Amino acid sequence: MPIATVNPATGETLKTFDELTPDGVERCLAAADAAFRRHRTTTFAERARLLGRAADLLEADQDDIARTMTTEMGKPLTAARAEAAKCVKAMRWYAANAERLLADEHPPQDDVRDSGAAHARVHYRPLGPVLAVMPWNFPLWQVIRFAAPALMAGNVGLLKHASNVPQTALYLEDLFRRAGYPEGCFQTLLVGSRAVEGILRDGRVAAATLTGSEPAGRAVAAVAGDEIKKTVLELGGSDPYVVMPSADVERAATVAVTARAQNNGQSCIAAKRFIVHTDVYDAFTERFTAGMAALRVGDPMDESTDVGPLASESGRDDLQELVDDAVRRGAEVLCGGRRPEGYEERGWFYAPTVLAGITPEMRVHREETFGPVATVYRVADAEEAVRVANDTSFGLSSNVWTRDEEDVRRFVRDLEAGGVFVNGMTASHPALPFGGVKRSGYGRELADHGIKEFCNATTVWQAP
């Protein structure tokens, strides 16, 4: 795949970039290695000053970088601005909290007395240069939620971004440089996917983090496993959105539209499978379908647009194949199911779609729909809701709408997911750990869990 900015609203190639040569990669790796030796010895106060400066610069750049993101991958401009603001928030949170999160841990003295220690503690040390293989769908946020904790821990970053967001990737390197980070602390590597294995196998690279598809995760994990290097993987999701009889159905349906259509439907943590108790199925589905059908599809630079184009032509075509397969096997199209009127021949747009009558033979039952397509299931009770919700290879997050505390306890206990959001849609927050189970990956980002993923938890034992 060429490294290029291609406007998904028009299909026009706006700018192409040369791939980094092997000599260029070597220079970056050498710079990262040298930078880590310096950066690891800095104080938390020094790191917080640099990250805080980067946050201030990003806040000032918010409108410009939002337009770049929208141009490169098609998210509505308002959503791109919100993404930049969320990055600023996370950067400031880690600048303020990293020292506390990585403070030495002291086990109770009575617990270690028989080891012969006068003093014992756990001390957190950075690992080294971390390779980040990042996707295009949240081209700023996915990177910052890795970079902010990694840099505050004393690590340095090597970014291999998706090939269709090169200008955003280069902006990130420039952002940290302008903030005053020394050369090599954060570098963007404009390389294709074939270069990842060689970079990860290099002895100067300590670990890797990847957000992306299951095949990409398998490939990176296999190489890292062979090299015995730490990885964190955040892969796909097919999140359930369960609505029970006691729910505020009108509110659940309204939020469901946002939960499915956010980021043009291209989000791992978007709700995708709507599992509704039969007592409220008709009321919910009617409201939800009306809300999806009412979304305004159009130019993502227009402030009034709700849903822009998908990021690539292949992504749109893959989505259409999933819908067509479901329809051939008996699914009912409640709205959408095609390219929207006026966009049949230009741009990579797809109409917000709701499918009902889903059966296990349909691909949409098993595969992630990466676009504004929702599937609706009717269930008889909580037991069936759990069974349908868990009938997937993914386990990223989940949503449950109920006012019944027994329902809450049951779903929190039984749903196979990295998160359970009750009476609200899934969202990531710097103070809460984020990640999944099953084929949605392993490890956690954000919160104290995320900053500790790329640290050496060092046992310090001291005799009298």
Catalytic (active-site) positions: 234, 268
Q: Who contacts 50 (Cβ-Cβ below 8 Å, separation ≥6)?
A: 151, 176, 179, 180, 181
Helix, strand and coil in the chain, % to nearest 5: 45, 20, 35
Q: H-helix or E-strand containing 311? A: none
- Say if CB 231 and CB 207 are below 8 A apart: yes
Burial of 458 by CB count in 10 Å (0-12 exposed, 13-18 middle, 19+ buried)?
exposed
Structure tokens at 110: 């009575």
- If you compute the radius of gyration of the chain from its CA atoms, what whole number of angstroms results? 23
Type and span of the H or E element at 316: helix 313-328
262, 255 Cβ separation under 8 angstroms: no
d(CA 327, CA 344): 20
Tokens encoding 38: 């310096």
d(CA 75, CA 299) in angstroms, rounded, equals: 10
